[in-house]
C-alpha cells in the first residue's frame, strides 16, 4: 500500500507539473488593427496594446505581443496582410481590431463581413484563438447601416466561436475630453479604459492551454 501511494504521489506530481507547464507556456499575440491600436497621435508606449504588454508582465503571464496595426487600415488590407503575418509570427492568439475605417467610409457591410470571415478562418486554420474587437460608428450613417455594422461582430463571433469585445470604446465614446482634437482618436488617458474593456476577454486566451 505504501509503495502504491508513493507511486501515485509521484504520478500526481508529474501530472501537476505537466499541467502547470502547459498553462504557463509562452504565447504569441498578434494584434491586427488600425489607428486605434497603432498609437496614432500618441507617444510611443501609451496605446492600449503597449499597456497590455505591461499588464501581462505585471501578471507574470508569458506572452510576446506583435502589434501589426497600421493607421488607416481596412478589413481588406488586414485580409491581404494576415497570411504573411501568420507565417512569420505563428501566433497563438490573433486580435482583429478592424472595421472602423470601412464603416467611416460607408463601405458595404457584407464586404467587410466577408473580409473578417476570411481573416478568422485563416487564423483558426493555424489553431490560433481569435478575439474580435467590436466597433460602432456615428448614427449619422443611418440606423440600418449602423445596426448592421455593429451586429456584424457578434454574428461572426457566434458563428466561429471566437472571443468578442462588444465595443472597444465602451466608456470612452461618450466622453469628448477623452479624445484627441480630431474627435476620432482616443487620447492617451483613454487607453487605460480601453485596455480595461479588452482585458477580461483577452485573459482567458493567453492563460488557457
Q: What is the DSSP letter of 186?
A: B
Whether residue 91 contacts residue 30, with contact meaning beta carbons closer than 8 Å, is answered with yes
The grid cell for 57 is 508582465
Question: How many residues in the chain?
Answer: 209
Whether residue 174 contacts residue 27, with contact meaning beta carbons closer than 8 Å, is answered with no
Tell me how far apart the alpha carbons of residues 10 and 117 are, in angstroms, rounded to a whole number: 47
Tell me how far apart the alpha carbons of residues 186 and 52 are, in angstroms, rounded to a whole number: 16
Of residues 35, 37, 69, 148, which has the active-site annotation?
35
19 is catalytic: no
Of residues 155, 170, 185, 201, which has the active-site annotation?
185
Backbone angles phi, psi at 116, to 5 degrees: -65, -40
35 is catalytic: yes
What H or E segment, with its residue span, contains residue 207? Answer: helix 191-207
185 is catalytic: yes
Backbone angles phi, psi at 164, to 5 degrees: -145, 125
Task: Tell me the catalytic residues.
Answer: 35, 182, 185
Amino acid at each position: 500500500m505504501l509503495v502504491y501511494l508513493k507511486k501515485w504521489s509521484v504520478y500526481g506530481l508529474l501530472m501537476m507539473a505537466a499541467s502547470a507547464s502547459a498553462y504557463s507556456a509562452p504565447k504569441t499575440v498578434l494584434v491586427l488593427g488600425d489607428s486605434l491600436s497603432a498609437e496614432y497621435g500618441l507617444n510611443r508606449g501609451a496605446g492600449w496594446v503597449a499597456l497590455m504588454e505591461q499588464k501581462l508582465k505585471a501578471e507574470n503571464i508569458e506572452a510576446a505581443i506583435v502589434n501589426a496595426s497600421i493607421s488607416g487600415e481596412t478589413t481588406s488590407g488586414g485580409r491581404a496582410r494576415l497570411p504573411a503575418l501568420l507565417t512569420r509570427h505563428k501566433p497563438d492568439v490573433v486580435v482583429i481590431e478592424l472595421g472602423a475605417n470601412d464603416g467611416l467610409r460607408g463601405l458595404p457591410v457584407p464586404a467587410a463581413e466577408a473580409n473578417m470571415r476570411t481573416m478568422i478562418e485563416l487564423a483558426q486554420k493555424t489553431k490560433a484563438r481569435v478575439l474580435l474587437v467590436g466597433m460602432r460608428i456615428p448614427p449619422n450613417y443611418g440606423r440600418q447601416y449602423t445596426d448592421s455594422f455593429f451586429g456584424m461582430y457578434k454574428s461572426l463571433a457566434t458563428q466561429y466561436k471566437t472571443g468578442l469585445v462588444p465595443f472597444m470604446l465602451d466608456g470612452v465614446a461618450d466622453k469628448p475630453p477623452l479624445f484627441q482634437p480630431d474627435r476620432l482618436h482616443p487620447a492617451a488617458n483613454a487607453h487605460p479604459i480601453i485596455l480595461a474593456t479588452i482585458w477580461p476577454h483577452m485573459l482567458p486566451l493567453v492563460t488557457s492551454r
